[in-house]
Chains A and B, each alone.
Chain A
Amino acid sequence: MASWLDYTINGLILGNVYALVAVGLALIFGVSRLINFAQGSIYLVGAYIGWVAVVGLRTPLFVTIVVVAVASALVGLIIERFGLRPLRNSVRIAPLLATIGISFVLDQIVMLTFSPNPRALPSQLPDIRFRIGTGTIGPLDILIACIGITAALLLFVFLRYSKLGWAVRATAQDRDAAMQMGVDVNRVNQTVFGIAAALGGLSGMLVGMYYNQIDTAMSLHATLKGVVAEVVGGAGNVPGAVVGSLLLGLVESYGVAVFGTSYRNMFAFILLILVLVFRPNGLFASAKQAPPEPLTGTFIAPSSPVRIPGLVLGVAFAAFAVLPLLPVSNYVLQTLINAWIFAMLALSLTLVAGTIGQVSLGHAALLAIGAYTSALLSLDFAVPVSISILCGGLMSAALGTILISPSFRLRGHYVSIATLAIGEIISLVILNWETVTRGPIGVSGIPPLSLFGYELVGTGSIYWFSFAVMVLLALLQVRLLGSHIGRSFRAIRDDDVAAQAYGLGLNRYKALAFIFGGFAAGVSGGIAAHLYSYINHETFNTQQSILALTIVILGGLGNVAGAIVGSVALVGLPEVFRIAAEYRILIYGIVLLLLVRFRPQGLLGTV
Chain B
Amino acid sequence: MAGPVHTPASSLEPLLSLRGLTRRFGGLTAVDEINLDLAKGDLVSIIGPNGAGKTTLFNLVTGLDRPDAGEVRLDGQPITGFSPERLAGLGFARTFQLGRVFGNLSVMENVLIGAHTRLRAVRPAIPLIGPLLELGLALWRPASVKAEEERLREDVRAILARFGERLLPRIDQPAYSLSYANRRRIEIARALALKPRLLLLDEPTAGMNPTETAEMQGLVAELKAEGMTILLIEHKLDMVMRLSDRVIVMDEGKKIAEGLGEEVRNDARVIEAYLGHGLARSTVGAQETAA
Contacts and interface: CB of A to CB of B under 8 A. Distances in A.
Nearest to A286: B26
Contacts of A508: 131
Contacts of B93: 501-502
Contact of A484 (B94, B96, B116): B116
A480 B113 contact: no
- Classify chain A's interface size: 35 or more
B191 to A, nearest CB: 8
Interface string A499-512: 11111111010011
Contacts of B96: 497-498, 501
Interface in A431-450: none
B134 A512 contact: yes
B179 to A, nearest CB: 15
A62 to B, nearest CB: 47
A511 B131 contact: yes
Nearest to A499: B113
Contact of B135 (A286, A300, A498, A516): A516
Contact of A480 (B64, B84, B138): B138
A500 B100 contact: no
Contacts of A516: 135
Contacts of B102: 297, 490-491, 494-495, 498-499
Nearest to B176: A302
Interface stretch (A65-73, A101-109, A287-295, A454-462): A287-295
In terms of DSSP, what is the predominant structure of the interface of chain A? helix
Contacts of A480: 135, 138-139
Most chain A C-beta atoms within 10 Å of own C-beta, residue among B83, B98, B104, B131: B104
Contact of A491 (B26, B65, B105, B138): B105
Contacts of A500: 64, 83-85, 88
A526 B103 CA distance: 37
Contacts of B174: 302, 304
A494 B119 contact: no
B121 interface: yes
Contact of B88 (A296, A300, A501): A501
B121 A484 contact: yes
B78 to A, nearest CB: 20
Contacts of A288: 24-26
23 contacts: A288-B26, A289-B25, A290-B28, A296-B100, A302-B103, A304-B174, A476-B139, A479-B138, A479-B141, A484-B138, A485-B135, A486-B138, A488-B113, A495-B100, A498-B96, A498-B100, A500-B88, A501-B84, A501-B94, A502-B194, A503-B117, A506-B85, A515-B132
Interface of B: 24-26, 28, 30, 62-65, 83-85, 88-89, 93-94, 96, 98, 100-105, 109-110, 112-114, 116-117, 119, 121-122, 131-132, 134-135, 138-139, 141, 149, 174, 176-177, 190, 194
